[in-house]
Copies of this chain bind each other. A is one copy, B any other.
């Protein structure tokens, strides 16, 4: 779960990059990747990710398509980021 702060007015450009359809992510072990915004924080992009493992996430950062997206996104970012990592242990939606 993370937040990315953009330079003023660049939020929607970052959203466009992060929501671009990718089959690489799923193949790399990404189970969920939801991108969001909030009226209260006009220069923040929220990202909620679930991966099959921390290792799968780590390795995904080396994919060509991910590296290209990082290069494209970097000039939009203020440098401020937040978030936390945790290990999923269950869900009430699954029996």
Interface residue tally for chain A (C-beta within 8 Å): 34
Copies in the complex: 2
List B contacts of A22 (CB < 8 A): 92-93
Q: How far is the CA of A38 from the CA of B84 in the complex (A)?
A: 9
In the bound assembly, the distance between CA atoms of A24 and B50 in angstroms comes to 23
Asked whether, in the complex, the Cβ of B88 is within 8 Å of the Cβ of A26, the reply is: no
- A95 at the B interface (CB under 8 A): yes
Contact with B along A28-71 (1 / 0, CB 8 A): 00101111111100000010101000000000000000000000
Interface of A toward B, CB cutoff 8 Å: 1, 3, 15, 18-22, 25-26, 30, 32-39, 46, 48, 50, 84-95
